[in-house]
Structure 1
Amino acid sequence: MNHQLDQLIADTFNRRAFLRKTSLGLGTLALGSLLPETLRSASLSDDRPHRAPKAKRVVYLFQSGGPSQLEMFDYKPMLAKMHGQDLPASVRKGQRLTSMSAQQSALPLVRSPYAFRQHGKSGAWVSELLPYTSRITDDLCFVKSMYTEQINHDPALTFFQTGNQLAGRPSIGSWVSYGLGSINQNLPAFIVLVSNNAPQDQPLYARLWGNGFLPSRHQGVQFRSGNDPVLYLNNPTGYAGNDRRAMLDALKQLNQVQADRFGDPEIVNRIAQYEMAYRMQTSVPDVTDLSKEPDWVFDLYGPDARKPGTYAANCLMARRLIERDVRFVQLYHQGWDQHGNLPKGLAKQCKATDQASAALVIDLKQRGLLDDTIVVWGGEFGRTNYSQGKLTKDNYGRDHHPRCFTMWMTGGGVKSGITYGETDEFGYNIAHNPVHVHDFQATLLHLLGIDHEKLTYEFQGRRFRLTDVEGKLVKGILA
């Protein structure tokens, strides 16, 4: 029987495919069989164990579209003083604009119509748009000096998630999965949740949570709302669990023969993914069943938490996944791209996300999970201090601004109750402590116990890493 299987598989490969596949992966496959399961997905770099981690899990609340820091976090009285006046050339310094702003004859400065107050012992400035976030400022680290080179959505999104503006690189969650492996063998190490109650103004692509050139087991798995949280996971009608087990056993035998003959490590990943899918038939219904959550939890996250797939429900789901030791949970919420009608659009976005974001931090903290879980909130860039298009008494918009914007972090190893970095009085340039995207990525990996310069993967003759050839640790935000 084995001889027949061997011959059948061999007949499916021509000479070119055989030579290509047998030249790769034999050493990796052999080594993988010797390593314990928790280390098999880790980097095979000789320098691999790096440092003791401060955190072991991440929830990344990605606000897609470019949230306006000037209406929420970065209080600038100068904009109120100079409202309607043109952006001074001495402030702009000839920096490039998007094609939308470049067409304007003037760049009128715009004050925020929302009241700002200092909150907590930290005295952090937060606007009235975020009443729930205002209550947890002493748990947060606001980074007001983020910057990137990318000025348009797709390359900026891709850069934040993969470390490069061009598609094809592994996502940050995939790098973490590759570097640290899984701590729950019944759920993927990297899970993605996308809000269904957000404006679909800018597209999201599955490649943003893809594994790129890393082994396929490290790709993000999207959980959806509805009867099938993971597509094609449930058995077809009339198909029993023992039928699935028998099918997988036979398929594993076929794949193992193929792996033994051709030495392709991706075959081993395929076997592992089939087995994970089988275990997920039990684990996914358990984790996605919110019926046992008490009323006070739904009240904490807000009324939308009872509606599957909303941002609030996804924040609650993120807590449940973190409880089960999922390594990296990524939420995406679109709709922050307010080129026009900003006051109305931004207020709606804040209402949909503010309570649940704060609730997640509170919930993790009260369960003792925040000590070793990092929570990140932010988008791909910020917004300009001038109005895009016509400025009227009650309406305006803001263009993309990569030069400075705000994110916040909290949790394992992050210093709480501080504001790091500062922008100039116009909110246009960074005045102190700039933090590049690669610096943020390097720091996040550091908190997880990974040296960003040592987490590498060789592909097409070059060693790649998330931070490419850049990135430095932001020591000022470390506890």
Structure 2
Amino acid sequence: MDQFNWELTSRRRMLKGCATGFGALALAALMAEESSAAAPAKKVDGPPLPHFPPRAKRVIFLFMKGGPSHLDTFDPKPLLQRDNGKELPFPKPRVQFAPTGKLLASPWKFQKYGQSGIEVSSLFPNVAGCVDDLCIINSVHGTNAAHGGALLKLHTGSDSFVRPSMGSWITYGLGTENQDLPGFLTICPTLAHGGVLNWGSAFLPARYQGTPLGNASVPSDRARVRYIENERTPRELQRLQLDLLADLNRDHLAGVGPNLDLEGRLDSFELAFRMQSAMPEIQSLAGEHPATLKAYGLDDPVTANFGRQCLLARRFAERGVRFVQVTHSDSYVQWDQHSQLKEGHEKNAREVDLPIAALLKDLKARGLLEDTLVLWGGEFGRTPTAQGADGRDHNPEGFTMWMAGGGVKGGFKYGATDDYGYYAVDKKMHIHDVHATILHLLGLDHERLTYQYAGRDFRLTDVAGEVAHDLFA
């Protein structure tokens, strides 16, 4: 009996000790895994190489916050005009943002433009003049009917997790062509509906996050990158301070190992030092011809704010910035016309139509449109059914985005929504497909552009995404 008790007690001690040991081993393995996942990618001289020959070298994203109506801009629907005031002849989506009523015809006329004969709304007479350069995608669809989730989905590929933004993935994959400027700039971005997460780098190294130039509440002529000016310390002394700081931190990193946060801060210090001279020169429009300023609408208070953003986008693009985002977001409402559709969309279109056309023409005249991909769109479209008396609700089921330059077909329409414009039905392109296609144009395979974090490989398109090869010239 004594022998039996002794053996039982020993086994209990043994199991207790092993359990503790197994826990320690598991913890050590998890910590090693996180350390390995967080290790920076191997550095190489010069920017990374694309996976295959690219059609485009850079992206300018013209983001129309709030969700412009595809039905009133680039996706005409004759049956919607005919059946104004009638019931939608098929079921509405199971999940809707808000209740809507009967069909609402577009208050604008559509007309054919260019050699392609593509129809464009009278809302965009200037952009319509560039229609032969546009690749209009009428079959985009998403998964979220709320602004916050839809913005994050469009910008990061996820509407529910903090993920790196599209611009961050692109600069991670391709680097920058100008070491004195950020690879990813966002001009006057919105601070609502995800805010900084829409241009953040998340778990990618910090140097790939977007650099904001002002925000949506600051007029573009007063938008500045924060904290790059140092009027109290001469540049020579700043250089000595940064060199000393870098030496101290290199010694620290040699002892403790990789630290992405610390390395990101050091990179930001260096970039900020170089930007002190590069950024003011670009933001100064003194060297631009008066005819150029007029073309972008800088002589008109209606178009001056967005016009300056578009002109800055061209100036950044021609200096090698990889990804430039321009946001039209002058108030909380923007393109989100739940009511007063005609008044709101006409105001917004007047502000952006002339500058966008000027940007396309300017890029083309300078030979930049060939390898610059211009992307236009919002986070979703609008419903063909009325909200209230004269508004349209959110519609992620089918909407329009367009591309120009960068290796896509001009004067080309791709995909379609149904006869009333509610659902994408032909050659559907999910947001993941849009991302995959953009990356392909830049020479990046969306399935190979990955980053390991928390034990798994992540990518912009997650586990989805199909490239729309039919869009390519």
Q: Normalising by structure 2, report the TM-score.
A: 0.87
Give distance in 2, aligned partners of 1:112 and 1:228: 36
Give distance in 1, aligned partners of 2:121 and 2:109: 6
Partner residue of 2:325 out of 326, 330, 337: 330
Query: How far apart are 1:228 and its partner, in Å?
Result: 6.8
Q: Normalising by structure 1, report the TM-score.
A: 0.86
1:362 corresponds in structure 2 to: 361
Query: How far apart are 1:118 and its partner, in Å?
Result: 0.8
| 1:374 maps onto 2:352 in alignment | no
CA contact (8 A) 1:193 1:331 kept: yes
Q: Deviations over 1:60-95 (max 9, x none)?
A: 00111110011111111111211111212xx22x52
CA contact (8 A) 1:228 1:234 kept: no
Give distance in 1, aligned partners of 2:259 and 2:87: 59
1:16-415 paired onto structure 2 within 5 Å: 24=35, 28=39, 31-32=42-43, 35-39=44-48, 50-88=51-89, 91-92=90-91, 94-101=92-99, 107-194=101-188, 203=193, 205-224=195-214, 225=220, 229-235=224-230, 237-266=231-260, 267-303=262-298, 310-334=305-329, 335-389=334-388, 391=389, 396-415=390-409
Give distance in 1, aligned partners of 2:198 and 2:31: 29
Give distance in 2, aligned partners of 1:344 and 1:182: 41
CA contact (8 A) 1:195 1:332 kept: yes
- Aligned partner of residue 295 in structure 2, secondary structure: helix
Give the number of aligned pairs.
Answer: 436
CA contact (8 A) 1:305 1:312 kept: no
Give distance in 2, aligned partners of 1:256 and 1:307: 51
- Aligned partner of residue 24 in structure 1, secondary structure: helix
Aligned-CA RMSD value: 2.5
Query: How far apart are 1:238 and its partner, in Å?
Result: 2.8
1:12 corresponds in structure 2 to: none
CA contact (8 A) 1:321 1:329 kept: yes
- Look up the equivalent residue of 2:35 and give its one-letter code: L
Give distance in 1, aligned partners of 2:265 and 2:300: 35
Give distance in 1, aligned partners of 2:38 and 2:461: 27
Gaps of 5+ in 2: 1-26, 215-219
Give distance in 1, aligned partners of 2:34 and 2:194: 37
Give distance in 2, aligned partners of 1:209 and 1:441: 15
Give distance in 2, aligned partners of 1:307 and 1:250: 49
Q: Deviations over 1:160-205 (max 9, x none)?
A: 1001102410000000010111111110000000279xxx9x5460
CA contact (8 A) 1:119 1:135 kept: yes
Query: How far apart are 1:29 and its partner, in Å?
Result: 5.9
**Which structure: larger Rg?**
2
Larger mean CA deviation between 249-258 and 178-187 belongs to 249-258
- Look up the equivalent residue of 1:303 and give its one-letter code: L
Larger mean CA deviation between 368-377 and 266-275 belongs to 266-275
Give distance in 2, aligned partners of 1:468 and 1:261: 35
Q: Percent identity?
A: 42
CA contact (8 A) 2:59 2:373 kept: yes
1:4 corresponds in structure 2 to: none
Q: Deviations over 1:344-397 (max 9, x none)?
A: 0000000001111111111000000011100000011100001001x2xxxx00
1:428 corresponds in structure 2 to: 422
- Look up the equivalent residue of 1:321 and give its one-letter code: F
Q: Deviations over 1:100-119 (max 9, x none)?
A: 21xx5xx2101111111011
- Aligned partner of residue 98 in structure 2, secondary structure: helix
Query: How far apart are 1:243 and its partner, in Å?
Result: 2.1
CA contact (8 A) 1:298 1:305 kept: no
Larger mean CA deviation between 138-147 and 224-233 belongs to 224-233
- Aligned partner of residue 345 in structure 1, secondary structure: helix
After superposition, the Cα gap between the structure-2 partners of 1:228 and 1:319, relative to the gap in structure 1 and judged at 3 Å, is: closer
Gaps of 5+ in 1: 1-15, 43-48
